């Protein structure tokens, strides 16, 4: 852990020892790809620090709109690659953005439907070729899918059966019978009512979306927010990330 994270953890410990009078209220903006791990980490941080953490779940363009308008918040969590731009635009404090979690893709089918074999790259390829329709998202780990289908040499054959979805969980379309097979981040696609989770993609095909966390320049509680970030990136809390089918960063 770096010097900054250690200092923030020390600050958190000091605040925790000083009692409820110094407890702060922190708001963290979290997108769909990261919110499951953020919620588990925030709950544990509240218990450890005495601070209150409000997790504001932002879907679609709502996140960008809140950041652009400087809506009240202290921390933002979203796709790691977006932080360079946020720092350049003065929205995130330089040096405070860190990767805290990653997620690959998993597969779901309608509840009660036969589960395809996706245990090997060849089996996954056959399952995609046999599917009447395939749904995946345009965000998070979604962009990996087109490259994957191209790498497997099946994209041209299945492209007319692919539905790229925005603004709705892929599992919702699977449950409604709008697509036969859904592919989305493991923590987003399961569990979901009306669907059965088939499993993650084979390890040989897995690519990961990386998620970061950073301090907003408009933060009203910057020290407590730094402590939250330090808690989120601490390897000791990896079990809280795995709890919701995400993974800690590769070390």
Pair 216, 76: CB distance under 8 Å = yes
191 and 236 assigned to the same domain: no
Q: Based on the domain organization, do 177 and 232 belong to the same domain?
A: no
> Is 247 within a domain?
no
Domain contains 250: no
154 and 185 assigned to the same domain: yes
8 A C-beta contact, residue 174 and residue 109: yes
pLDDT in tens, 9-29: 554 444 444 444 479 999 999
Q: Are residues 152 and 237 in the same domain?
A: no
Regarding whether 22 and 35 lie in a shared domain, the answer is: yes
Give a yes or no: residue 218 inside a domain: yes
Distances (CA, A) of 101 to 16, 64, 225, 235: 25, 20, 18, 10
What pLDDT, on the 0 to 100 scale, is given for residue 17?
40
Q: How many domains does the chain have?
A: 2
Which residues form the domain of 121? 105-205
- Asked if residue 248 belongs to a domain, the reply is no
Whether 96 and 30 share a structural domain: yes
Full strand arrangement of the beta sheet holding 209-215:
52-57, 25-30, 75-79, 209-215, 98-103
Q: Model confidence over 56-112: pLDDT tens digits?
A: 998 878 999 999 999 999 999 999 999 999 999 999 999 999 999 999 999 999 999
Judge if 92 and 213 occupy the same domain.
yes
What pLDDT score does 251 carry?
74
The CA-based dihedral angle spanning residues 172, 107, 162, 104, taken in that order and rounded to the nearest 10 degrees: 110
157 lies in the same domain as 225? no
Residue 120 lies in a domain: yes
From start to end of the chain, where are the E strands? 25-30, 52-57, 75-79, 98-103, 105-110, 134-137, 162-165, 181-185, 195-200, 209-215
**Predicted pLDDT of residue 46:** 97
Q: Domain with 227 in it: what CATH number?
A: 3.40.190.10
The reply to whether 213 and 200 lie within a common domain is no
Residues 133, 222: one domain?
Answer: no
């Amino acid at each position: 852990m770096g010097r900054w994270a250690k200092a923030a953890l020390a600050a958190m410990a000091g605040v925790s020892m000083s009692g409820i009078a110094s407890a702060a209220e922190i708001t963290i903006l979290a997108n769909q790809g990261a919110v499951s791990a953020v919620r588990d980490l925030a709950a544990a941080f509240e218990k450890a620090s005495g601070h209150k953490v409000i997790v504001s779940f932002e879907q679609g363009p709502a996140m960008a709109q809140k950041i652009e308008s400087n809506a009240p918040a202290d921390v933002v969590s979203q796709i790691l690659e977006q932080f360079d731009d946020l720092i350049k635009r003065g929205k995130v404090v330089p040096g405070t953005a860190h990767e805290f979690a990653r997620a690959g893709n998993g597969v779901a089918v309608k509840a009660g439907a036969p589960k395809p074999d996706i245990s090997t790259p060849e089996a996954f390829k056959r399952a995609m070729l046999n599917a009447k329709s395939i749904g995946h998202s345009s965000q998070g780990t979604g962009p990996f899918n087109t490259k994957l289908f191209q790498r497997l040499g099946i994209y041209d054959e299945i492209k007319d059966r692919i539905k790229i979805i925005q603004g709705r969980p892929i599992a919702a379309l699977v449950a409604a019978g709008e697509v036969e097979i859904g592919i989305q981040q493991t923590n987003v696609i399961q569990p979901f009512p009306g669907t059965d989770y088939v499993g993650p993609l084979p390890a040989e095909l897995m690519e990961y979306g990386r998620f970061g966390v950073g301090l907003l320049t408009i933060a009203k509680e910057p020290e407590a927010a730094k402590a939250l970030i330090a808690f989120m990136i601490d390897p000791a809390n990896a079990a809280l990330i795995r709890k919701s089918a995400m993974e800690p960063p590769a070390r």
